[in-house]
Amino acid sequence: TTPLPDYGGRVDVPLGNVSIHVVIPPANELPHTMAGRDFLLLFECLDVSSVIVLWALLLAEQKVLLQARQTHVLTMAAESLCALLFPFSWQHVYIPILPASLLDILQAPVPFLIGIDEEVLGMAEQGGLVPDDVVQVDLDASSIVCDPDVARAI
C-alpha cells in the first residue's frame, strides 16, 4: 500500500507497468463551501440520485438550467454543483442567476450551467427560448426534465 500525500503533496502509485500520479492540492485550493451549508441546501432540494445525475450531466458537458422561486437557492445549488466537480472545474458558461436581458444565451450551442428564477423562466418559455436539449432542473419540485437522447447519453 502507498500512503496518500499531505495537502500540497504528490506521490506516484505503481499500477502494473504504469505509474499513476496522485496529487493532493493545498487546503486553500479545495472548493469553497460554507461549512457544508451549500451542500445541505442542494440535498434539501434534490435527492442523492438526482444530484448524481446532475453531476454526470455536468461532467458530460450538457446544458443545465436550474430553476427556483428564490434566487439564493439558485446560487447555492450552482455553487455546490461546481464544487462537486472537484478536482475538475466548470469551464463553460456559468450564470447563477440569469437576468431577463440575457435570455438569448439559452440558445447558445455551448454547455452551460444557468440558474433562472420563476419570472424570467416564464418569459423564456413564453418566447420559446428554451431548446429541447436543455436539461431543466426544478429545485422547488425536485425534478429533472431532459430530452430522452440526453438521458440515454449518460
β-strand pairing of 93-95 with 112-117 = parallel
Higher-confidence position of 154 and 122: 122
Give me 37's grid cell: 451549508
Return all residues near 1 (Cβ < 8 A) that are at least 6 apart: none
Question: Do the Cβ atoms of 65 and 135 come closer than 8 Å?
Answer: yes
DSSP state of 77: H
State the pLDDT at residue 114.
98
Question: Do the Cβ atoms of 56 and 64 come closer than 8 Å?
Answer: no
Give me 30's grid cell: 479545495
Return all residues near 154 (Cβ < 8 A) that are at least 6 apart: 53, 56, 57, 60, 62
β-strand pairing of 134-138 with 143-145 = antiparallel
Q: In the predicted model, is pLDDT for residue 134 greater than 60?
A: yes
Q: In the predicted model, is pLDDT for residue 27 greater than 70?
A: no
Return all residues near 22 (Cβ < 8 A) that are at least 6 apart: 2, 4, 5, 10, 11, 12, 13
d(CA 103, CA 123): 9
State the pLDDT at residue 30.
61
Q: Lowest-pLDDT range, 13-17, 36-40, 60-64, 74-78? A: 36-40
